[in-house]
């Protein structure tokens, strides 16, 4: 994770800089694209530049050099931006698998998010898991997630369960850092009642949830069985990441995870749909106090 986080954050910084410069020049993405095609005869496209600016695609240093010529930036600024592109490109060279990139891109975005809204139906959210519970999840041998594929570079992803647990626990630091991320989790009741081979692991996890629910930056709501069917449950695990103003990134990003892989989207229509779904979930779920009481009740029955 640390080896990938740096290049990905650098790519995001570069995208923000390119967007800022284009805005300062008063040019639209279409105008820049036309200028690139006319001057260099390239296959540069509107979609390519758009995804470069939002850090959603790899950035080729040559493209950055050519864009700098279009924007007529200073030699010093051009060298700085090209160097950023080189550093960002390093992360791409070791991660050929799109699912791997998307998962680690999500983990990187978590670090700079101001808030996270997450819904889970089967497992306790990763950011709220105990080491024992996380290890039990990672040791499942049913279907390995796409981002653990054996078809990628051996050094590009942590393949052993203990290493993946460590990576997951490292992600949790965003909840206790000096300026902690605000996490709002809606968890289906089935997740807190689900049995594990070792009952003590679930007891420890439920106790952990009770303690975390007292943190000012963590809001936990349980969706009770009595709520019946509800919107947004078609995908059993998804998150909405909110970003601070002025980050040069869309204000929200949606991350969805399924057995077939992961998906990250910033399309307004998708983000709006999932945001509305989460708001509906929060209205239907038990409030934080009642949710804590339910967790305590389930914990008592487990003893």
Separation of first and last alpha carbons in the chain: 37
Number of domains in the chain: 2
Token digits of residue 1: 């994770």
Helix and strand totals (H; E) in the chain: 12, 6
Last residue of a domain, one of 40, 74, 93: 93
Please indicate, yes or no, whether residues 107 and 88 belong to a single structural domain of this protein: no
Domain span at residue 72 reads 2-93
The Cα–Cα gap between 35 and 269 comes to 30
Which CATH number do you get for residue 36?
1.10.260.40
Please indicate, yes or no, whether residues 220 and 245 belong to a single structural domain of this protein: yes
Last residue of a domain, one of 43, 68, 93: 93
CB 174, CB 215: distance < 8 Å = no
What does 266-300 look like in DSSP terms, one character per residue? Answer: --HHHHHHHHHHHHHHHHHSPPHHHHHHHHHHHHH
pLDDT values of the chain reduced to their tens digit, one per residue, 303 residues: 445 556 777 787 888 889 899 999 999 999 999 999 998 877 789 988 988 887 766 688 999 999 999 999 999 999 999 998 888 776 554 444 555 566 677 777 888 889 999 999 999 999 999 999 999 988 875 444 444 444 434 344 445 567 678 878 888 999 999 999 999 999 999 999 998 889 999 999 999 999 999 999 999 999 999 999 888 888 889 999 998 765 455 678 888 876 666 777 877 888 999 999 999 999 999 999 999 999 999 999 876
CA angle centred on 255, ends 249 and 259, rounded to 5° = 155
């Amino acid at each position: 994770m640390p080896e990938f986080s740096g290049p990905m954050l650098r790519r995001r910084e570069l995208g923000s800089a390119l967007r800022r410069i284009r805005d300062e020049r008063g040019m639209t993405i279409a105008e820049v694209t036309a200028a690139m095609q006319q001057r260099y005869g390239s296959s540069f496209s509107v979609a390519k530049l758009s995804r470069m600016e939002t850090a959603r695609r790899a950035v080729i240093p040559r493209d950055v050099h050519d864009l700098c010529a279009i924007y007529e930036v200073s030699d010093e600024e051009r060298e700085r931006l090209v160097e950023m592109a080189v550093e960002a490109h390093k992360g791409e060279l070791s991660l050929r698998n799109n699912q791997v990139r998307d998962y680690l891109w999500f983990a990187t975005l978590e670090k700079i998010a101001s808030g996270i809204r997450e819904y889970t139906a089967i497992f306790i959210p990763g950011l709220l898991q105990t080491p024992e519970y996380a290890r039990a999840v990672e040791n499942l041998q049913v279907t390995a997630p796409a981002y653990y594929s054996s078809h990628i570079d051996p050094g590009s992803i942590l393949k052993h369960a203990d290493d993946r647990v460590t990576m997951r626990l490292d992600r949790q630091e965003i909840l206790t850092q000096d300026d902690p991320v605000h996490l709002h989790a809606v968890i289906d009741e089935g997740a807190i009642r689900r049995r594990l081979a070792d009952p003590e692991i679930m007891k420890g996890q439920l106790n952990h949830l009770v303690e975390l629910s007292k943190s000012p930056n963590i809001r936990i709501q349980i969706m009770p069985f009595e709520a019946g069917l509800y919107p947004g449950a078609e995908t059993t695990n998804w998150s909405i990441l909110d970003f601070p103003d002025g980050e040069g990134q869309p204000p929200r990003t949606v991350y969805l995870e399924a057995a077939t892989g992961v998906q990250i989207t910033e399309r307004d229509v998708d983000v709006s749909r999932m945001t509305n779904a989460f708001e509906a979930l929060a209205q239907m779920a038990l409030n934080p106090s009642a949710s804590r009481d339910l967790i305590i009740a389930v914990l008592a029955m487990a003893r």
